[in-house]
């Protein structure tokens, strides 16, 4: 009943949910593709959204990673080389190649072609520096200039270009921190009970064991950087080669590490919502409605009923019965560049400098 007439675009879903309505973009990237990017995601999701709208239905985008959702809401990404959209890339791309260089050399190259972008980025932030160099190499235009063009479009702002879908809204499910932490810890225990370890062993045996033996394992790209695999590295590589007591200790260490990084990731997601959605400067920001999920016994009253009322109001073109969340816009310059001569360090951002 809740799902009727909806199409869901998500990467997290149960079989029961899939039976209730049509889901898209589930299990569609080969695990060995190490350079699947947010641009690839956007290029596949946007045509799906158009297809769903054309069928007079409402697409629901479910997170997931807020940065990927942001790529669908605003014009914020930069296309570089044209490539076939039918399948993810199996070969290495230029950004990955650049990341192999020394940080100082990378930053020196960026200073030569785009001094404004180089001043914004910390020299040790290899991923962003490499991305800016890639943009220049593959477009011939400095990254900073393309960003200025996006921001200067009608409806653009300091954080990017205009909003793509003017009649969208964001439902933010948030919980008391203690309740959320307890729920996340239980989630990890449930994953272990449901067969996480066998899945990890199988994945390690098929995809990572040979790389570890050759000292080529890479926990910075692709599936191997995701939460839930690298935390069990010591356990997986030593299983069968150490005593049962040591193996049990390494297993417990992996489980506790998984709980810690999961909680840390949840905090980062909530911080992203506050800083990028609620405090976002500019005129085109979808309203964000907060739904309290601390007490699951009150799901119907606190979450389901108000969510349906909000969505129904948007469908009918009237004001929802509840006010969206509002926060003061952050005036901090997060890209200011200063050098502390006492400790010989580059400091990026007003807050870090303070």
pLDDT digits (tens, 9 = 90+) for 115-168: 999 988 989 898 899 999 999 998 999 999 999 988 888 888 877 888 899 888
Residue 17 CB burial class (10 angstroms; 0-12, 13-18, ≥19): middle
109 C-beta neighbours (distance < 10 Å), count: 19
Q: What is the pLDDT of residue 4?
A: 43
Q: Indicate left, alpha or beta for 91 from its phi (over 0: left) and psi (-120 to 50: alpha).
A: beta
> Quick one: which of 133, 107, 185, 28 has its CA closest to 348?
107
Mean pLDDT of 241-251: 92
Mean pLDDT of 260-288: 88
CA gap 297, 227 in Å, rounded: 29
CA gap 172, 149 in Å, rounded: 31
Mean pLDDT of 48-64: 90
Q: What is the pLDDT of residue 353?
A: 84
CA dihedral 116, 117, 123, 125 (to 10 degrees): 160
Which of the four pLDDT bands, split at 50, 70 and 90, describes residue 2?
very low
Q: What is the pLDDT of residue 8?
A: 64
> Quick one: which of 284, 268, 233 has its CA closest to 254?
233
Q: Which range among 62-66, 87-91, 123-127, 252-256 shows the weakest confidence by mean pLDDT?
A: 87-91
pTM of this structure: 0.77
Domains of the chain: 90-160 (1.10.20.140), 178-266 (1.10.287.890)
Peptide bond connecting 64 to the previous residue in cis, omega within 30 degrees of 0: yes
Cβ atoms 118, 107 nearer than 8 A: yes
């Amino acid at each position: 009943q809740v799902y009727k007439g909806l199409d869901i675009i998500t990467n997290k879903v149960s079989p029961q949910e899939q039976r209730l309505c049509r889901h898209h973009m589930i299990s569609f990237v080969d695990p060995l593709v190490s350079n699947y990017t947010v641009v690839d995601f956007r290029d596949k999701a946007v045509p799906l959204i158009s297809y769903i709208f054309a069928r007079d239905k409402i697409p629901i985008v479910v997170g997931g990673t807020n940065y990927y959702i942001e790529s669908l809401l605003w014009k914020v990404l930069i296309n570089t080389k044209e490539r076939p959209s039918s399948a993810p890339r199996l070969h290495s791309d230029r950004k990955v190649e650049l990341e192999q260089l020394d940080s100082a050399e990378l930053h020196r190259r960026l200073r030569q072609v785009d001094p404004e972008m180089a001043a914004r980025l910390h020299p040790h932030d290899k991923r962003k520096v490499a991305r800016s160099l890639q943009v220049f190499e593959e477009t011939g235009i400095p990254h900073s200039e393309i960003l200025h063009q996006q921001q200067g479009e009608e409806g653009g702002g300091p954080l990017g270009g205009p909003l793509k879908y003017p009649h969208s809204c964001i439902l933010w499910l948030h919980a008391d921190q203690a309740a959320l932490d307890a729920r996340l810890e239980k989630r990890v225990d449930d994953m272990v009970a449901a067969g996480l370890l066998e899945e990890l062993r199988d994945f390690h045996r098929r995809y990572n064991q040979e790389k570890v033996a050759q000292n080529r394992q890479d926990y910075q790209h692709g599936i191997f950087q995701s939460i839930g695999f690298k935390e069990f590295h010591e356990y997986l590589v030593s299983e069968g080669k150490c005593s049962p007591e040591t193996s049990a200790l390494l297993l417990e260490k992996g489980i506790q590490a998984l709980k810690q990084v999961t909680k840390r990731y949840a905090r980062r997601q909530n911080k992203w919502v506050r800083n990028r959605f609620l405090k976002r400067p500019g005129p085109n920001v979808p309203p964000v409605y907060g739904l309290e999920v601390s007490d699951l016994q009150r799901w119907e009253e606190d979450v389901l009923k108000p969510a349906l009322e909000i969505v129904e109001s948007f469908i009918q073109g009237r004001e929802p019965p509840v006010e969206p969340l509002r926060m003061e816009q952050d005036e901090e310059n997060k890209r200011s560049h200063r050098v502390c001569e006492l400790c010989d360090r580059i400091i990026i951002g007003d807050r870090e400098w303070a």
